Structures are given as C-alpha cells and as structure tokens.
Amino acid sequence: MKTVVTSSEMKELDLLASKKFAIPLVLLMENAGADIARYVVEYSNNNKINTPTVLIVAGPGNNGGDGIVVARHLLNIYENLSILLLILTKHPYQGEARTNYEIIKSIAETDSRIKIIENKLSGLSKFKPDIVVDAIFGTGFKGKPQGIYKNAIRIINILSGYKIAIDIPSGVNGDTGCVEGLVVKADLTITMGLLKTGHLLYPGKEFCGGVKIANLGVSYDKLAKTNTFLLDKEYIHNSLPKRKPDGYKGTFGSVAVVAGGEGYSGAACLASLGALHSGAGLVRLCFPENINTAVEKKLTEVIKVPLPATEQGSLAISGYNKIKEIASKSNIMAIGPGVTTNQETKKLIRKVISSTNLPMVIDADGLNNITVSDLLKIQKQRRLKIVLTPHPGEFERLFGVPTQSINNNRIEIVRELTKKLSLIIVLKGAPTVIGDPMGNVYINSTGNSGLAKGGSGDVLTGMIAGFIAQGASPADAACLGVYLHGYAADIAVKTKTEYSLVATDLIKFLPKAIKDIIS
C-alpha cells in the first residue's frame, strides 16, 4: 500500500528528514526540481520535441522555488530550448526559494534561452509553449485564487501545452480535494515524497491527471507515522485468503445472507452471488417466501431458506428462530439488502443484529433499520467484527452527518467514528474509504461511475462476507471486497462502458479481476 499524508504531515516529514539525515532543505528543493525536470524531458522525448518551449509559472512559496529549480535543470539538460519563467509573488521570496530565485536571476542575465517576467501577464495568452509547469500554489493552499493568480490559472488552462502541476494543481486544497474557484487542469501531477489526500478526493482528483511521486532522495515511507493508505494490487494479492488444495466447502466457510422483500429479490440474489463468487464454500439465503419463485429462477448454487412474510411481502418476525438456526451453521452473516423498512421487519432486523454471535456485514436497509444506540448495545468484542457499508445517504441517516460534510471530509469522519464505535465502516463513494477500529483508513484506487447503479452495493456486501467466511479479518475483507469490486468494474467497462455496466456484470467479471490479482 502507498502511504498518504496531509500537507501539514508532509511539512513535518521534510523537517524530520532534514534533521535526521542532516539534509539541508535547499537540497530537498534541488532534488524535487531535478526529478520534475526529468519528467519534462521524458514527455519531450516521447513526443519527439527536440527543442522544447517551456512556460514555468512560479508562485510565492516553496512551490514556486521548485519551479525555479526546474528551469535551471532544463537549461543544463538542453542546449537548445526556450523557457519563459513567470514569477508571481507580492512579497520577496524567503529561505530556499529565495536562494534559487537569486541563482536563476544571475543565470538569466547572460543566458538568452531563458526570459523572466515578474507579476505581469500581458501577452502571455499568445505564448505557445510545448509544456506548461504549474508551480503557483502547493498542497498547503486553501481557499479561492484571487487577482493575478486567478488570471494566471485561467491563462494556463487556455494554453495548448502539456500541463505539469508541481505537487498539486494550483487551486486544489491538498487535504480535502476541495475546489472553491479556478483551478489548473493538469495532464500530470508530480508530488513531493508521498501522495497527499487531496490527490485522491474529488473534485480535486479529476484535475490532477496522472499522479507521479518525485524522488527527493529520502525514504519518506519509513519516516511517516501516518495511518492513511491507498489500496494497491500488491496489498490485495497478499491479503487474499489462501486456497488449500485439499479443501472442501466447509474449509472455505459458510455465509448466511438475510435479504430480500417484495420487489427486491434481485438484491438478495446479488448479495448471495457476490459471496459465492468471492470464494465462500456455502451460501444460505434467508428471504420472505413470497419472492421464492423469483429467487429459485435466479439462483442455482445457493441454498434457499424461504421464511414467513408480512402482509407487505417483507420478512416477518416469526422467522427469527429459523434465522438463528441458519446462523448457528454459518461463519458470517450479511444482512440488509432489500429487506425494506417495514416496522415488523425492522424489529426482526434489530433482534437478529443484537443477538447473533457472528461477524456481520450490515448494508442497505439493515443500516436503515438500526440506530447508533443499537450498535453501542452490542458488546465491543462483537462490534470489532461488524462491517457497515453505507453510501453517504445511509451514513447521514445513521450518524447525523450531512452529506456535504461527508464528501468534504470523508477520511477523518470515518476515522473518528470507527475508533469511537469499534467497528469497520466502508463509506461508499468516489473514492470509497474503509476505516478500522485502530484508526487506519484505506482509500480505494479502483472503480468508475458505472458502479453508480442499483445492485452494485449488494454485490459488494456479499463479497465482503465471502472473504470473511474464508478467514480474512473483517478489515482485510472490506479492503479486498472494495478493491476487487471496483477492479471488476474497471475491467467490465472496457467492453460494457460506464453507461451500460450493471450489477450482474460485476459477478461476470469478478473471476477475471481475481485471476489478474493472483497471476
């Protein structure tokens, strides 16, 4: 997994690296500029640009200093090129940025390949660079670009050159990904040392283009004490439950699924299939008897357990003892998809959740039928094995956090609640984040807008339960389910497109996703 930090954490790491390894901060800036220059050269070579024309827009802080270093390294690399260095700062540079500013000013006095303009934008829109380097604001920026900075961003976006942002596109909040005004639309973002949360959260993520990490000559991963991570293939490969060659269906666990209601047989079936296709040995589906015909048509390999139904076609409380019996034969329960919020069914769901001594994945109406108080009544040792899988609307109803607040600060909100409640939360969305009771937060790197369809979440619920059945910890199972669910969607859209992807496609393409991970 890749370590992810906030802008303030990165600043502290720079100071720690400088102190621990006796590295001057000016050398870190030097290494940053050198590596960014390398990416400029790489792009030029790939596009057969032998004499590049480069615009570098350097802002008032260390981000601007990085841009100035890039200019100097490009002058050392190319015998023939043209650099326009636009300096935008209302106050004199300080520290390492000032040192590099003085150096480039001296070079420009005798080197005709570089021209420096300070605090003027006239004529800039007529410039035709091959490459534009955005070094206006770094990851510490918050708010809305104003004045000359706003106008510079507007011109950068108009220019046709390939746009490289240093650390993060100017105008994006490096911690939250929030955008309040104009922002640079980058083709490539080269960040310093480690990924920042703002690279991974929308809307900021869509302005970053590709994201690369500059090598500053320091192993920041080993220095960082953060507990935020980006899921990747290597972690998923290592976390997949191993398949014993002499195993049988009991070896790979049994899942009890409590789901379905009138009009929602699909939710019950998709959750069951998600559990089977993720590797569970046996799946038993408890559902109201009125949807039996639909369930029998859709499921072959799942054991069907029809239960008494209410007048509205949802699960009746009289089915409780049978659910308890099925639970006694199971390793994990997935509960909620399609059960509705019928009042009698609500009593049943609360009773099952409070009394069933199994690891549990609670989704959809399972979440809509409970309260935080219901969760806190459950013994802490059991809560450690509970996974909640809300989308923002369900999250708001359960925890009282407005959807907009969730989207602006989903990482820290999830971290706080999972520690407080001692359970795992999978907050679905773009991106989905997973929090565990230890305060770790995992950000998913897979998936696309094709997942924004009814039934997708039901498949995910079953997948997480299936991985727990095979022996994965609830936290690992949540990460496995979320990553592979998104990865299956990424494979599917290559032929299906994001418009046409439906939940059953996730079942079809999940085997290919898993095969790709284990190969």
What pLDDT shows up at residue 328?
Answer: 97
Of 250, 287, 251, 289, the closest CA to residue 270 belongs to 287
Q: Which position has the token pair 């004199």?
A: 92
**The domain defined by 233-237+253-518 carries CATH number 3.40.1190.20:** yes
| Contact by Cβ (8 Å): 340, 348 | no
Q: What's the Cα-to-Cα distance from 396 to each of 176, 399, 401, 430, 440, rounded to whole Å? A: 19, 5, 5, 16, 21
What pLDDT shows up at residue 260?
Answer: 98
- DSSP class of residue 278 equals T
Q: Return the CATH class of domain 2-224.
A: alpha beta
Q: Strand pairing partners for 228? A: 441
Query: Residue 32 and residue 190: Cα distance in Å, rounded?
Result: 9
Q: Where are the domains of the chain?
A: 2-224, 233-237+253-518
Q: What's the Cα-to-Cα distance from 194 to each of 184, 320, 353, 405, rounded to whole Å? A: 21, 51, 41, 26
Q: What is the pLDDT along the chain (519 residues), one digit of tens a residue?
A: 899 999 999 999 989 988 888 889 999 999 999 999 999 999 999 999 999 999 999 999 999 999 999 999 999 999 999 999 999 998 899 999 999 999 999 999 999 999 999 999 987 878 899 999 999 998 999 999 999 999 999 999 999 899 999 999 999 999 999 999 999 999 999 999 999 999 999 999 999 999 999 988 888 888 888 899 999 999 999 999 998 888 888 899 999 999 999 999 999 999 999 999 999 999 999 999 999 999 999 999 999 999 999 999 999 999 999 999 999 999 999 999 999 999 999 999 999 999 999 999 999 999 999 999 999 999 999 999 999 999 999 999 999 999 888 888 899 999 999 999 999 999 999 999 999 999 999 999 999 999 999 999 999 999 999 999 999 999 999 999 999 999 999 999 999 999 999 999 999 999 999 999 998
What pLDDT shows up at residue 382?
Answer: 96
What pLDDT shows up at residue 215?
Answer: 87
Record the pTM: 0.93
Q: Where are the alpha helices (DSSP H) in 219-291?
A: 220-223, 233-239, 265-277
User: Residues of 496-513 as b/e, b for ≥16 C-beta within 10 angstroms?
Assistant: beeeebebebbbebbeeb
Tell me the helix, strand and coil percentages in the chain, rounded to 5: 50, 15, 35
User: Residues of 448-484 as b/e, b for ≥16 C-beta within 10 angstroms?
Assistant: eebbebebbbbbbbbbbbbbbbbebbbbbbbbbbbbb
Q: What is the DSSP string of 124-158?
A: GGG---SEEEEES--TT--S---HHHHHHHHHHHH
HSE value, Cβ hemisphere, 13 Å, CA-based, for 28: 24
Look up residue 510 and give its two tokens: 């999940």
What pLDDT shows up at residue 16?
Answer: 92
What pLDDT shows up at residue 63?
Answer: 94
Of 56, 60, 58, 62, the closest CA to residue 14 belongs to 62
Look up residue 308 and give its two tokens: 């008494």
3-class secondary-structure state, position 411: helix
| Contact by Cβ (8 Å): 266, 338 | yes
Q: What is the DSSP string of 199-216?
A: GTSTTTHHHH-EEEEE--
The order of strands in the sheet holding 360-362 is 195-196, 2-5, 228-230, 441-443, 433-435, 424-427, 386-388, 360-362, 332-335, 254-258, 282-288, 303-307
Q: Strand pairing partners for 464? A: none
Long-range contacts of 471-474 (CB under 8 A, 24+ apart): 471/241, 471/253, 472/239, 472/240, 472/241, 474/359, 474/384, 474/385, 474/386, 474/387, 474/424
Q: Which position has the token pair 């239960």?
A: 307
What pLDDT shows up at residue 408?
Answer: 80
What pLDDT shows up at residue 488?
Answer: 98
* C-beta atoms surrounding 32 within 10 Å: 27
Residue 220 phi/psi, 5-degree rounding, is -65, -30
Query: Residue 107 and residue 114: Cα distance in Å, rounded?
Result: 8
What pLDDT shows up at residue 113?
Answer: 94
